[in-house]
Every structure is written in C-alpha cells, then in structure tokens.
Amino acid sequence: MKWKKYTIETTTQAEDFISSMLADLGIEGVQIEDNIPLSAADKEKMYIDILPELPPDEGLAYISFFLPAEQGQEELLAQVRRELNELRAFVEVGTAEITEGETEDKDWINNWKQYFKAFTIENILIKPTWEELPAEGEYRHVIEIDPGTSFGTGKHETTQLCIRQLCKYLKPQDQVLDVGCGSGILSLVSLKLGAASVTGTDIDPLCIEASAENMKANGLSMGRAHFYHGNLIDDAGIQRQVGGEYDIVTANILADIIIPLTPVIPACLKKGGIYITSGIIDFKEEAVKQAVLDAGLEILEISRQGEWVGITARK
C-alpha cells in the first residue's frame, strides 16, 4: 500500500505539542526524528537493538505522519497548518514547514536493515540472511538471522551478555529453555553450541514465526526445537507445555519482567541447572539480584556491558 508521508520541520521543545495536535485531528501515529541522546530509562523502556550514532543535538526535530496516498488530504493539511500557526503563541515551533514524500509499507519493515551488519561474539559469526559470508575472519559457528519485526539481531548488549554466558556454561546435549525468545537468536546459539534441543516462549506470536523461520535459515531441524506463544509467568497452559527440567534457562527480557518471572524458573531447572538472564539496566540490578536470591537460586556471576547487566545463577 502506498502512503503519503508529510514531515514537519520543527523544534525539539514543540515535539509533544505537535504530536498531541496531530492526534486530536485523528492522525494516528507519528514518527519523530531528533538527535536528543536517550537516557538510561529511555533505553530500558525502548530496548533498542540497533542504535545508530547520532550527530550533536541542535534543537531541530522532524515529525512525520502518514496518510493513504489515494485520498485527497488538502483540507486536513490546511487544518494542520492552521493549528501549527496557533501553536506559535505557546511554543517555539521553528519553520513548521511541511514537506511531502511517498512511501510503502515495505519501506518501514526493511529500512532498519542498513544498520545490521555481520559481526562476531566469541567464536560465533552472526550475519544477516541477506549478506554473503565475509571473506576473512576467525569463527567456529555461523548464525544467519533475520529478526523480521521481532527483537534480536545479537547486536544489543544484553543479547551479547547472554551469548557469552551460553558459550561458558552450555554443555553438549543440554536441554535449553529460552524465555522471551524474540527472533530465536539465543535458541540458535544454543543449538550451534551443541544443545540437544531448545524450547522457546514469547508473548508475541510474530516472534514464534520468526524463530521458526530462522531455524530453517540455519539448516536446523524443527525436531530439535519447540516454540510456544504465551506468558510463562502466569499461563498454566504454557507452563504445562514447557514442562520438565532444563539444564539451562535463558531470559533476555527486561528487569520489570524478569522480577516476576524468576520465581517460576526453579521449577524449570534441574538441580545444578543454570539461569542466564539479562535485559537489566544498571539501576535495576539490585532488584533483580534480590528476586534471584528470593527464588532460592545461587548467583554465580554478574557481568556488565555498557549500562546493561547480566546475572547468571544456579539452582
């Protein structure tokens, strides 16, 4: 489907005012581009997988909204311009110039791919499915990944923290449970490292599809993997499907989900089993540590990368 893209050049201080105004006019969803650095709280809330480097913030912002290309939008655009002019009495809106472009659904789905390039973690090469193998480099395992609309290219610090711990603790023929599997990246790593089988869960059905597709892309048999849609925290049906005792449980989610999830984990682990978790912004470290200890698990390691923390524990 083709869409008209309208972009307002404005100031960062006017972002919220203009976004609210567009919503009041019935325009659903806007895209905001600025160079304001993300705070730690923003990073935790947004859980950005691939973050491009930003130039210095000069107070400029670009707010885009999208309307179906086939419909006449002259009256709505005239109303947007009137509202922008009225906002000048309350906030500095800058030029408020509106430029027009055209886009398609596929552009929104695929534009992020320009930021995802092949890279290595430990002795594992992780590459997008659409790129050729690099001509040089030392690596033992290759993982091809296309996250689609799910989370998980392996680029995020939290994913890398989990992968390093899998390299350290996973033994051949281990059974692995991947909670919040996203694209299936940790499940793929586990199988490449020698796990006998993996079980993944996620609350987003698109993640289940992405995980299965990435299994196929890596030539891995679906007989070694089961992916379930649901919430392991309070869904008794998923808890029954997941069942049994695993050698390793991974949970690369967010601290506010890990805390209520952790009490469920001991029932999923064999005695001596390993719990590898990340997605923990540094100021939530103590709360997650306490949840792990309250669940009766022994903390083995705390690892860090940037502002993110990983906790590895044992039953």
pLDDT in tens, 121-146: 888 999 888 888 877 778 889 999 88
pLDDT in tens, 290-312: 999 999 999 999 999 988 999 99
What pTM was estimated for this model as a whole? 0.70
Domain locations in the chain?
A: 2-109, 116-314
Model pLDDT, residue 108: 58
Model pLDDT, residue 130: 83
pLDDT in tens, 154-166: 778 999 999 999 9
Model pLDDT, residue 47: 53
Asked whether 123 and 139 are in contact (CB, 8 A), the reply is: yes
Model pLDDT, residue 138: 80
pLDDT in tens, 185-195: 999 999 999 99
Stronger pLDDT, 196 or 52, i.e. the higher one? 196
Is domain 116-314 given the CATH code 3.40.50.150 in the classification? yes
Is domain 2-109 given the CATH code 3.60.130.10 in the classification? no
pLDDT in tens, 19-54: 999 998 988 788 898 887 766 666 555 555 555 566
Model pLDDT, residue 232: 96
> What does the chain look like in DSSP terms, one character per residue?
-EEEEEEEEEEGGGHHHHHHHHHHTT----EEEE-PPPPHHHHHHH--SS-PPP----SEEEEEEEEETTS--HHHHHHHHHHHHHHTTTS--TT--EEEEEEEHHHHHHGGGGG---EEETTEEEEETTSPPPSS---SEEEEE--TTSS--S-SHHHHHHHHHHHHH--TT-EEEEES-TTSHHHHHHHHTT-SEEEEEES-HHHHHHHHHHHHHTT--GGGEEEEES-TTT-HHHHHHH-S-EEEEEEES-HHHHHHHGGGGGGGEEEEEEEEEEEEEGGGHHHHHHHHHHTTPEEEEEEEETTEEEEEEE-
pLDDT in tens, 60-111: 999 999 888 766 678 899 999 999 999 999 899 999 999 998 876 666 556 6
pLDDT tops 60 at residue 9:
yes
Model pLDDT, residue 129: 82
The span from the CA of 110 to the CA of 92, in Å, is: 34
